[in-house]
Amino acid sequence: MLLHYLTNSINDIDNLIELTNKDIQDIKEANHELVFERTKIKNDLIKAFEHKKTLLDNELIKIVKNNEDKELDKVLDDKQKDLLNTMKTKLSELKNKNKEYAKFVVIISEFYNTLLDKIFPREMDGYHKSDHRPASILKVSV
């Protein structure tokens, strides 16, 4: 069972990496609708991974309990160890991809917020900026 959980978890991580790469490419090309469409897919994939990770954790706990006198490293076979290392590597890769994706998201967010502030200035309410003034104040001259 452990091999099954590891293999499926790694597949989920690979799919998340692939979707994140697509998101990064689409942000660069300003295809924001495609990014939004993938959000639900990614959220479902994350939930599926979390479920598989829980099953994987439970399986490892069972193995440890059944072999209390041995370390986990001595109980697992080479294939299981390789898959655990692969999973760790893939998670690290996903983390780095998510950092890269987050940088683009912050940049785009700052751009749109700055643009919005220039079109609809906000007034200061003490140290906090209040909401944008209503769009009805915008005048168009033709």
- Region 45-51 average pLDDT: 97
Residues 6+ apart with CB under 8 A from 123: 129, 130, 133
Nearest residue to 84 (alpha-carbon basis) of 13, 7, 1: 7
Q: Does the residue 59 lie in any domain?
A: yes
pLDDT at 119: 80
Write out pLDDT tens, residues 19-40. 999 999 999 998 989 999 999 9
Q: Does the residue 87 lie in any domain?
A: yes
Q: Does the residue 142 lie in any domain?
A: no
Q: Does the residue 119 lie in any domain?
A: yes
Q: Is residue 31 packed enough to be buried (19+ CB in 10 Å), middle (13-18) or exposed (0-12)?
A: middle
- Region 63-80 average pLDDT: 89
Domain that holds residue 9: 2-137
Write out pLDDT tens, residues 85-118. 999 999 999 999 999 999 999 998 898 888 887 8
Q: pLDDT tier at 52 (50, 70, 90 boundaries)? A: very high
Q: pLDDT tier at 70 (50, 70, 90 boundaries)? A: confident
Quote the mean pLDDT of the chain: 88
Q: Does the residue 90 lie in any domain?
A: yes
Q: Does the residue 77 lie in any domain?
A: yes
Is the pLDDT confidence value at 129 over 70? no
Q: What tokens does 77 get?
A: 């076979």
Instruction: Please give the tally of structural domains in the chain.
Output: 1
Q: Does the residue 110 lie in any domain?
A: yes
